[in-house]
Amino acid sequence: MTALLAALATALAAAPPAPSNPALERERVAIANELIGLGAAVQRDVERADGAALLARVPKNGLRCGARRIPRARVERDLANPKSWLHGMLFGGPGYTPITGGSRSLRAFFAEAREIAVLVGFQRDARAGPVGRPCLEYRAPNVPAPAFPLCFERRDGAWWFADSLYPCG
């Protein structure tokens, strides 16, 4: 497995300003530490092309995608279909065209990179309150990652994908 370097970053695009509240900062640090561990688990799932493990992190009501929702059943089909954009972006396949200079897939990124950093940041999201929505990104020197931040929300003590598996912008 690729060496995993854990890095903490609190400045993703549209991140909330640095909190002046020490309790809020401690909460963000605790969440970031949890997400670094989650990032290692997601990496293992992608390296094994384990769509079922990734689907287990998709809420029953699906994923937010801008103002709409992508049903969980569609996410399940897309994870299993090598021709889909989602399968291609995560595991490789003809449905995904990498950004110029990017890896063929997140799985290919993990295979190509020698050292991988997991960066955690917090994006503004009214549903997440003052802490913000925690997101993680994978980075490696000289190997552009194909994916955008993976964002999560906590429900019933577990971390679920909030959105961001599809390009919704």
38-69, pLDDT tens digit by residue? 999 999 999 999 999 999 999 999 998 888 89
Q: Global pTM? A: 0.83
Contact predicate 114/129, CB 8 Å:
no
Split at pLDDT 50, 70, 90, the class of 146 is confident
Domain membership flag for residue 158: yes
Give the type of residue at 16: P
Domain membership flag for residue 168: no
Split at pLDDT 50, 70, 90, the class of 78 is very high
Beta bridge partners of 161: 152
- Our measurement of the distance from residue 117's CA atom to the centroid of its chain's CA atoms, rounded to an integer in Å, reads 13
What is the extent of the structural domain holding 119? Answer: 3-163
Query: Beta-carbon neighbour count of residue 76 at 10 Å?
Result: 15
Domain membership flag for residue 120: yes
Domain membership flag for residue 169: no
Phi-psi region of 55 (alpha: psi -120 to 50; beta: other; left: phi over 0): alpha
Contact predicate 103/146, CB 8 Å:
yes
Split at pLDDT 50, 70, 90, the class of 72 is very high
Domain membership flag for residue 116: yes
Percent of the chain with pLDDT over 70: 84
Split at pLDDT 50, 70, 90, the class of 28 is very high
Contact predicate 69/63, CB 8 Å:
yes
DSSP 8-state code for residue 84 = S
Query: Beta-carbon neighbour count of residue 21 at 10 Å?
Result: 10
Domain membership flag for residue 137: yes
End-to-end CA distance of the chain: 32
Domains contained in the chain, number: 1
Give the type of residue at 149: P
Task: Calculate the average pLDDT of the chain.
Answer: 84
| E strand or H helix that includes residue 129 | none
Split at pLDDT 50, 70, 90, the class of 14 is very low
Contacts of 157 (CB under 8 A, 6+ apart): none
